[in-house]
Amino acid sequence: MSQHYIPENLPEKIQHYINGEFVDSISGATFEVLDPVSNTAYTTAAAGQKEDIDAAVAAAREAFVNGPWPRMKARERARVLNRIADAVEAQEDRLAELETFDTGLPIKQARGQAQRAAENFRFFADLIVAQFDDAMKVPGSQLNYVNRKPIGVAGLITPWNTPFMLESWKLGPALATGNCVVLKPAEFTPLSASLWATIFKEAGLPDGVFNLVNGLGEEAGDALVKHPDVPLISFTGETTTGQTIFRNAAEHLKGLSMELGGKSPAVIFEDADLDAAIDSTLFGVFSLNGERCTAGSRILVHRSVYHEFCERYAARAKNIVVGDPHDPATEVGALVHPEHYAKVMSYVEIGKTEGRLLAGGGRPENLPEGQQNGSYVSPTVFADVAPTARIFQEEIFGPVVAITPFDSDEEALELANGVKYGLAAYLWTQDLTRAHNFAQNVEAGMVWLNSHNVRDLRTPFGGVKASGLGHEGGYRSIDFYTDQQAVHITLGAVHTPRFGATATEPAPAKTAQFGASK
Can you say how many angstroms the Cα of residue 106 is from the centroid of all Cα atoms in its chain?
A: 19
CA distance 267 to 281: 10
Q: Are the beta carbons of 147 and 487 closer than 8 angstroms?
A: yes
Those residues with Cβ within 8 angstroms of residue 397's Cβ, 6 or more apart along the chain or in another chain: 161, 261, 290, 291, 295, 340, 343, 344
Q: Out of 114, 176, 260, 344, point to the residue binding ligand NAD (CB under 6 A).
A: 260
For residue 468, state whether it binds ligand NAD (rule: CB under 6 A).
Answer: yes
The region of 24-32, 157-165, 369-377, 500-508 touching ligand NAD under the rule CB under 6 A is 157-165
Find the shortest distance in angstroms from Cβ 377 to ligand NAD.
16
For residue 158, state whether it binds ligand NAD (rule: CB under 6 A).
Answer: yes
CA distance 493 to 77: 41
Find the shortest distance in angstroms from Cβ 299 to ligand NAD.
18
Residue 410: active-site member: no
Nearest to 70 by CA among 206, 182, 256: 206
Amino acid at 29: A
Over the window 363 to 402, marking each residue x when it contacts ligand NAD by CB under 6 A and - when it does not, the resulting string is --------------------------------x-x-----
Residue 310: active-site member: no
For residue 186, state whether it binds ligand NAD (rule: CB under 6 A).
Answer: yes
Q: Are the beta carbons of 286 and 332 closer than 8 angstroms?
A: yes
Q: Out of 423, 425, 427, 466, point to the residue binding ligand NAD (CB under 6 A).
A: 423
For 67, the 3-state DSSP assignment is: coil
Q: What are phi and psi of 147, to 5 degrees?
A: -105, 100
Q: Pick the catalytic residue: 97, 219, 259, 443? A: 259
For residue 78, state whether it binds ligand NAD (rule: CB under 6 A).
Answer: no
Q: Which is nearer to ligand NAD, 221 or 374 (CB)?
A: 221
Angle in degrees, CA 81, 249, 52, rounded to 5: 60
Q: Are the beta carbons of 331 and 298 closer than 8 angstroms?
A: no
Q: Which is nearer to ligand NAD, 67 or 155 (CB)?
A: 155
Total number of residues that touch ligand NAD (CB under 6 A): 30
Closest residue to ligand NAD: CB criterion: 217
Amino acid at 334: A
Q: Which is nearer to ligand NAD, 367 or 396 (CB)?
A: 396
Burial of residue 145 (number of CB atoms within 10 Å: 0-12, 13-18, 19+)? middle
Mark out the alpha helices in 380-518 (DSSP H runs): 390-393, 409-417, 432-441, 475-480
Binding to ligand NAD, residues 3-62 (CB under 6 A):
none
Q: Pick the catalytic residue: 97, 293, 331, 472? A: 293
The region of 119-127, 236-244, 374-382, 433-441 touching ligand NAD under the rule CB under 6 A is 236-244
Residues marked active site are found at 259, 293
Q: Which residues bind ligand NAD (CB under 6 A)?
A: 157-161, 166, 184, 186-187, 217-218, 221-222, 225, 236-238, 241, 244-245, 259-262, 293, 395, 397, 423, 463, 468
